[in-house]
A and B are shown apart, each in its own frame.
Chain A
Amino acid sequence: MDLFLQNIVNALQWGSFYALIALGYSMVYSILMLFNFAHGDIFMVGAYIGFGIATALLGFAAMIGLPLPGWLILILTILFSMFFTSFVGMLIERIGYRPLREAPRASAAITGLMIGIILETGNLALLGARRLSFPALIESATYQFGGIFVTNKKILIVLVSLSLMYVLHLFIQKSKWGMAMRAMSFDFQAVPLMGVSINKIAPLTFAIGSALAAAAGILYGLAYPVLDPYMGVLLGWKAFVAAILGGRGSILGAALAGFLLGFIEIFVAWIFPSTLRDIIAYSIILLILTFRPHGFFGQAHSTQLRL
């Protein structure tokens, strides 16, 4: 029983990363009908930008002799990194995707792969293959409830992820920009005629997706403080699976499927020999897709951004 509850806690943390990253895939898909395969690498860039900001803030605090509390540095790091990474996302949209908007979808998908490789190797050239250690901004504390161990980081990761998703939900449902995005996902040919420019909505979508990925990157740095240039590849692929599983273009689906993927991986590793984890976990997902080919919330040929 302890182990069961412990693994729920573990899965909530692990699923948060999949969910946050899958959201970016889904949002871009709903607007442009393409999967941004560089998204996993944007997550990596977000983590590295966060590393730079955290290090700079720590250095600045030490220089002026004012000990800034760790939680403040963490909040600033998350906000700044989300801000800067959203520009990276917009830049990728401008340079990589906009020139190919009329091109066949396959070309645009390949573009994503290439941008991903450029980001990885660019980082490798800039900082070298040495792994970076993400600074521990908050003192790790472990709480014990019966036989279950929960750290303050785990609670923080899950809370921050859920609140970011809630803010995204509010933005899409309540704001004017959100409405424009929803309209665009219904019909991106008619909506521009109503005075909503795709050249504004597409960068905005990339910016939001990248900001979420950046937040995921920093939370990831807190939980798994070893950064390397290829950290986003596998995570990006798996989050992509979550986006498909949730239903292409469905925000709620992506978030739920992200958590589901985390639960499946963790529980399969618990119940079966861990060597077989990915075989069994992804066979289960294949099975789900066989019976629900459009995922949980997707519809055939649906391009709707729905919540």
Chain B
Amino acid sequence: MKRLLMVIVLGLIGAMVFSTNVWSLGRKTVIKIGINAPITGDIPKVGEGTKYAAQMWLADINKAGGIEVGGKKYPVELVIEDNEAKAESAVKANTKMITDDEVLFIVGPQSSKQAVPAGDVANNYETPMITPWSTNPDSTKDRPYVFRGCFLDPFQGPVLANFITEEFKFTKAAVLYDVASDYPKGLAEFFKQAWEKIHGAGSVVAFESFTTKDADFSSQLSKITKSGAQVLFTPQYYNEVALIVQQAHELGWKNPIVGSDSWGSAETVTLCGKDCYGQFFSTHYAAAGAKGETKAFIDRYQKEHGYVPDDVAALTWDSLRLVQKAIESSGKITGKIKKDRKAVRDALAKIKNFKGITGDMTFTEEGDPIKCAVIVRISDKGEYEFYKSVCPN
């Protein structure tokens, strides 16, 4: 009985393998792009932005009749997998897309929490992957097959230090950050390093911290206010930004307050109100005051989906366009997935001065783009206005 069962199972497996082979021989080569996105889970809005941007890109490709490689047009198919905003699901989704769906390229996952482990899978299977939104250095570190579409955390510190120095000619800065959270802590330290490199040791006159869940910063802010600092840098998330900025004003702080891309949520202004008007932060792109292709993308997205796209959608769009360019310049699609994956990866690594809607990009050895950050000013109506583009030296 057992043996019979074995035979049946083996026979079925054999039939399946055989049949898929026959099937794939008979059809035309299709370029499959995998999308690993948080469609459900904690951050469904991020997943939605990813999906919409990908569908808009696909519509463009279909209109053009496919991607042209070596004088021949290939149709494109999207494989969208939900990672539920969880690390283990993102790993599963990547494995499935690489081994079952045989995708040529993976776009996503978005958050570092998923991109870091999922990038490991992609790199092990030698499948190129680009994460549009993950700013953590570990996502791409020592992984030749993993790229990203945005700048890194260590880059924002110097960018903001340079911006404040040039814009306001200030020489003394204060920093307030959450010591229990990786992102603000890292960024606060990068900023301090960069600032002291420009203005000398001791030019960060107050380097104060608190821990996650704190709501009262009066002691730290009193110290900062009396320290003679001309600007306050606080790389916090939107709920803390509201409390810090309001309390600073109540304690007599009148100078600018500057933040990082974690300020970028629309919630910042909802919670913070008028106190945040006129403050600055660095981010990936600014919707208000955009020009050229960026504006065209925003208008189109808004027309199709009814709201202004956030940075995730814009970065996903740029990442897909980068993938497209890499495929186009890879020379030839052989149909042998392993070979094609390598060719496309090499082509992407060679791309120089790519004109994206979130800025020009050139990849480094690590697969991180050299690109400019956007400085946003929160306008007197609470909108995020493009103020200046700051590029790495």
Contacts and interface: CB of A to CB of B under 8 A. Distances in A.
Partners in one complex: yes
Interface SS of B by simple majority: helix
A274 B252 contact: no
Contacts of B219: 7, 10, 265-267, 269-270, 274, 277
B250 A140 contact: yes
Interface in A13-67: 13-14
Contacts of B211: 278
A5 to B, nearest CB: 10
Interface stretch (B86-94, B120-128, B238-246, B295-303): B238-246
B315 to A, nearest CB: 23
Nearest to B271: A133
B222 interface: yes
A130 B266 CA distance: 12
B271 A230 contact: no
Contacts of A230: 213
Contacts of B242: 133, 225-226
Interface string B186-220: 00000000000000000000001111011110111
B154 to A, nearest CB: 21
A147 B223 CA distance: 12
Interface in A146-182: 147, 149, 151, 153-154
A228 interface: yes
Contacts of A149: 250-252
A129 interface: yes
* Size class of the A contact interface (CB-based, 8 Å): 35 or more
B226 A2 contact: yes
Contact of B250 (A151, A220, A226, A265): A151
Contacts of A269: 208, 219-220, 223
A234 to B, nearest CB: 5
A133 B208 CA distance: 26
B275 to A, nearest CB: 9
A273 B223 CA distance: 11
Contact of A14 (B218, B267, B270): B218
Contact of B226 (A3, A136, A274, A278): A3
B152 to A, nearest CB: 25
Contacts of A10: 216, 218-219, 222
A274 B220 contact: yes
B340 to A, nearest CB: 42
B70 interface: no
B241 to A, nearest CB: 10
Given A7-B219, A10-B218, A274-B219, A129 B42 contact: yes
A6 B211 CA distance: 22
A142 B209 CA distance: 25
- Most chain A Cβ neighbours within 10 Å, of B211, B219, B243: B219
Nearest to A17: B216
A231 interface: yes
Interface string A229-242: 01101100000000
Given A6-B222, A10-B218, A270-B223, A275 B213 contact: no
Contacts of B249: 142
B273 interface: yes
A259 to B, nearest CB: 14
Contacts of A189: none
A66 B219 CA distance: 40
Nearest to B227: A3
A290 interface: no
B179 interface: yes
Nearest to A268: B219
A129 B44 CA distance: 13
B250 A274 contact: no
Contact of B209 (A3, A233, A274): A274
Interface in B44-58: none
Contacts of A2: 226
Given A10-B219, A233-B213, A275-B209, 14 more contacts: A3-B226, A10-B216, A10-B218, A13-B218, A131-B238, A133-B270, A133-B271, A133-B273, A147-B226, A225-B271, A234-B213, A234-B214, A270-B222, A274-B220
Interface of A: 2-3, 6-7, 10, 13-14, 129-131, 133, 136, 140, 142, 144, 147, 149, 151, 153-154, 220, 223-226, 228, 230-231, 233-234, 265-267, 269-270, 273-275, 277-278
26 contacts: A2-B226, A7-B222, A10-B222, A133-B242, A133-B271, A147-B226, A149-B251, A149-B252, A151-B250, A153-B250, A220-B215, A224-B243, A225-B243, A226-B239, A226-B243, A226-B271, A228-B239, A231-B213, A234-B213, A266-B218, A267-B219, A274-B208, A274-B210, A274-B219, A274-B220, A275-B209
Interface of B: 42, 179, 208-211, 213-216, 218-220, 222-223, 226, 238-239, 242-243, 246, 249-252, 267, 270-271, 273
